[in-house]
């Protein structure tokens, strides 16, 4: 079974220059080839946003984010290639994130978060729009934050695999960030396994 919508991203927190990471630069470095970018208006000097169809980029002085709804786009590998070209960039955190949106009918019979013994249906008299649950789990190289929310029509789950940059030298820092970003496919597979464990059955392949 497939989710109604999937969105994934790789985000690196650090000191990025929006005037460097541009569609022109990505083409010159061959990080993105043979794809036409559509630039979205942003605040001058604060953020540059552009997209190659569903592959979306956001570059600000504090973060680089690449996201896509297309499974063939390996956001982590794309970000890693940027970092390898800009190894002197100060960076503090790498996050591979995955979100899934299901119809409630798809989630029928699966587990949902409760407030005590109350479910969403038990709280509707209080005009509740949605019920959610969040958990933060420590992992060997960082943390996993899982958020699950649902209402009458949908169930939404997001999973963020965050890895703080502990390396101090320029070379080691860039290497760590590139390697952490390239955990994208492993994190994606793990995210689907976590969703299936939360649901109590195999919703995702």
What's the sign of the alpha-carbon dihedral 32, 37, 41, 44? Answer: positive
Terminus-to-terminus CA distance in the chain, angstroms?
7
- Print the domain residue range for 103: 5-199
Count up the domains in the chain and report the number: 1
* Residue 58 lies inside a defined structural domain of this protein: yes
> What pLDDT score was predicted for residue 47?
86
> What pLDDT score was predicted for residue 40?
74
* Residue 172 lies inside a defined structural domain of this protein: yes
Contact 198, 157 (CB under 8 A): yes
* Residue 139 lies inside a defined structural domain of this protein: yes
Band of residue 8 on the pLDDT scale cut at 50, 70, 90 = very high
Q: Any bridge partners for residue 139, and if so which?
A: 142
Task: Compute the mean pLDDT over every residue in the chain, rounded to the nearest whole number.
Answer: 90
* Residue 115 lies inside a defined structural domain of this protein: yes
* Residue 204 lies inside a defined structural domain of this protein: no
Stretch 96-119: mean pLDDT: 83
- Global pTM value: 0.91
* Residue 116 lies inside a defined structural domain of this protein: yes
Q: What pLDDT, in 10s, does the model give residues 140-185?
A: 999 999 999 888 889 999 999 999 999 989 999 999 999 999 999 9
* Beta strand pairing call for 91-103 and 154-164: antiparallel
Q: CA–CA separation, 55 vs 3, rounded Å? A: 19
* Residue 205 lies inside a defined structural domain of this protein: no
């Amino acid at each position: 079974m497939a989710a109604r919508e999937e969105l994934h991203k790789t985000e690196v927190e650090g000191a990025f220059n929006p005037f460097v990471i541009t569609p022109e630069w990505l083409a010159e470095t061959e990080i993105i080839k043979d794809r036409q970018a559509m630039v979205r208006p942003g605040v001058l000097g604060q953020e540059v946003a552009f997209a190659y169809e569903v592959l979306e980029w956001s570059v600000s002085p504090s973060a680089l984010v690449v996201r896509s709804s297309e499974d063939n786009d390996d956001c982590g590998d794309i970000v890693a290639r940027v970092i390898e070209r800009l190894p002197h960039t100060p960076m503090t955190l790498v996050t591979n994130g995955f979100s899934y949106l299901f119809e409630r009918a798809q989630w029928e019979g699966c587990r949902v978060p409760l407030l005590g013994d109350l479910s969403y249906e038990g709280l509707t008299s209080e005009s509740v729009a949605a019920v959610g649950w969040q958990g933060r789990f420590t992992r060997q190289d960082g943390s996993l934050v899982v958020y699950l929310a649902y209402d009458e029509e949908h169930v939404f789950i997001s999973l963020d695999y965050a890895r703080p940059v502990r390396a101090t030298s320029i070379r080691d820092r860039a290497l760590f960030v590139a390697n952490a970003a390239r955990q994208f496919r492993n994190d994606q597979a793990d995210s689907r396994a976590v969703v299936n464990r939360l649901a109590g059955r195999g919703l995702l392949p």
